[in-house]
Amino acid sequence: MNVLGIESSCDETAAAVVEDGRRVRSSVVWSQVALHAPYRGVVPEIASRNHLRSIVPVVDEALAKAGTDLSGIDGIAVTIGPGLIGSLLVGVQFAKALALGRGLPVVGVNHLEAHVMAAFLVPDRDPPRFPFVALAVSGGHTSLYLLSRPGEVALLGRTLDDAAGEAMDKAAAQLGLPYPGGVAIDRVSEGRDRAAVKFPRSMIKDPTLDMSFSGLKTAMRHHLLKRPEALGADEVGDISASFQEAVVDVLVHKTIAAARANAVRDVVIAGGVAANRRLRARMASAAEAAGLVLHPVPISLCTDNAAMIAGLGHRYLFGELSSAPLPRGLEMDPFVRHVADGW
């Protein structure tokens, strides 16, 4: 069964074709980074207008790369949140219209659930074993979940203020690094002194699994105010590496603690920040030391993409979740069904 996935939750228009919920036949992402770079962040109005311009050619390209057309598609999956409302509307209305016109089933799926379940889109690797703990970490989200079985999700902890990726983006802006800041910090931190600046590890000793990163941004600001002179490239690298290490320390500590508290064997890390090289390396070492099996989502599927939407959509359309009840409020819409409990 081939599912066409559509993703437009933020600033990337994406479409993909996934076969039987595991094999990615195509994945196309049209990025708006260049459009938003002058503003050092995503401008919702610009994002939604450019989704309108790009969604048709992106879907056409995904179908072509999969070697098929709409006659070879069995169902459609689309992101219904969380995300920017204007951006989401473009993808949802396009998917509903396409499904209605072609007589195809369509399902709306949760963006965060899809990020986590992208760990199953690796046919040549053993998938995570339920129950497992998942860290979903990006520019908009930093949360820990327990997935007891497909479709059953429990929130264990989350950031109480800024997402880890947002903190990195803001830190990069203070250092004069280009947008997107998280990617720039990862790059300039390579080989630098990760102990050059003693940044705080907020809530790392807190008994809950919640996190906080706003104080870390403030600490960066205060550190730079003490250094009015221009920073050299080496110093920028050392400060970036120290800041990144503070973020990674908290994420690794809380994730391993969540796995131990829930007596699980498998751990998934997903989302845009899960592509960070230092986080992947530190999490791998910590998981091995704790006797856990780490399942990092492939880097190509960490940032927003539609393959993860199609993969999860297959479960709701044709898999074990196809008979799950509709949540209250969606019964009146015959074109979209989704189970959102726990998210």
Percentage of the residues of the chain whose pLDDT score is greater than 90 = 86
**Is residue 238's pLDDT more than 50?**
yes
Amino acid at residue number 277: R
pLDDT given for residue 190 in this prediction = 96
Domains and CATH numbers, the chain: 2-117+302-317 (3.30.420.40), 123-297 (3.30.420.40)
Helix (H, G, I), strand (E, B), or coil: what is residue 84?
Answer: coil
DSSP structural state of residue 272: G
Q: Which residue has the tokens 């947002």?
A: 166
pLDDT given for residue 330 in this prediction = 41
pLDDT bracket for residue 275 (50, 70, 90): very high
pLDDT given for residue 230 in this prediction = 83
pLDDT digit string (tens) for 160-175?
A: 999 999 999 999 999 9
Q: Which of 308, 328, 327, 324 is nearest to 316 (CA)?
A: 324
pLDDT given for residue 334 in this prediction = 43
Which DSSP string corresponds to 115-130? HHHGGG--TTSPPPPS
Helix (H, G, I), strand (E, B), or coil: what is residue 263?
Answer: coil
Confirm if 36 and 114 have CB atoms less than 8 A apart: no
pLDDT bracket for residue 285 (50, 70, 90): very high
Confirm if 327 and 343 have CB atoms less than 8 A apart: no
pLDDT given for residue 331 in this prediction = 41
